[in-house]
Amino acid sequence: MKVIKNALQMQKIALKHIKNGDEIGLIPTMGALHDGHVSLIVKSEKNDDITIVSIFVNPTQFGPNEDYLKYPRTVQKDLEICRKNHVNYVFMPSVNDMFPVDYKTFVEVKALQDILCGKFRINHFRGVATVVTKLFNISCADRGYFGMKDFQQLKIIEKMIRDLNFRTKIVPCPIVREKSGLAISSRNSYLSVEEKKASLNISRILREASESFRDKNLNFVRKNAINKLKRIRGSRVDYAEVVNFIDLSPADKDTKKAVFAVAVWIGKTRLIDNVIMTK
């Protein structure tokens, strides 16, 4: 495993592999790696000749009052996880390498970036789309691996890929959960013992909503779930929306496949989760 810290060097290495006929898989991360990230690495190992994991805490996707400075940074642990899972390259650029002082270019996916999390995190998805564009360009990736916990992010990246004719194929990967049902996230480390216990209710409520989706009125399913989420101790609900699986448009009575996506604060920690619902 090699650690590369310069974007131009990473791109030259990737182009050499492409010239040799290798297929490249990219797992974009902000570090603080966990079993969810490992599941993406494992998929790339199966599909690709070369696996690249990028570790970059992207400042352009954080708002002024968000947790950029305190976002968990566990570099040595991350490198050991990558080494253990046979990653070929870890790309760890500096902020100045990715976004120099005079940087002026951003990628936006209109409409999709303004709903759900986008309502509460202004310019977040602009930052995500921009950094992913750069990472795809630098890594020359044949495949990019994204977890479905960040379902809106996944759909935005898929749309960006289609609209801008990227060669990279997106590989959606299932949510990885703890045995308790809690969706694994780097931000779970912020939770106190009591807050983590309270957060377990989120996945339970989503599961119950999914089970009632086939035979209950859609508005009832959503409102019932919101009421339950609000009753979680220390919670604050940013949103709880049922959207079409394909394009994130609002689901209706004729929707056959939907996603119930939520963002819930437990204390000072914002957690997102979702469940796929089918009729």
The catalytic site residues sit at 37
> How far apart (Å, rounded) are the C-alpha atoms in residues 113 and 126?
7
Element (H, E) at 268: none
Q: What is the DSSP letter of 49?
A: S
Helix-strand-coil split of the chain, %, nearest 5:
40, 20, 35
Strands, E assignment, the chain: 2-4, 24-29, 50-55, 89-91, 143-147, 169-173, 235-244, 257-266, 269-278
| Locus of tokens 């310069």 | 6
Determine phi and psi for 114, rounding to 5 degrees. Answer: -105, 0
Q: Collapsing DSSP states into helix, strand and coil, what is residue 234?
A: coil
Tokens (6 digits) for 134: 């750069």
> How far apart (Å, rounded) are the C-alpha atoms in residues 36 and 101?
33
Among residues 84, 106, 101, which one has the least CA distance to residue 35? 84
> How far apart (Å, rounded) are the C-alpha atoms in residues 73 and 32?
6
Residues 6+ apart with CB under 8 A from 186: 30, 31, 32, 34, 71, 72
**Contact call for residues 266 and 195 (beta carbons, < 8 A):** yes
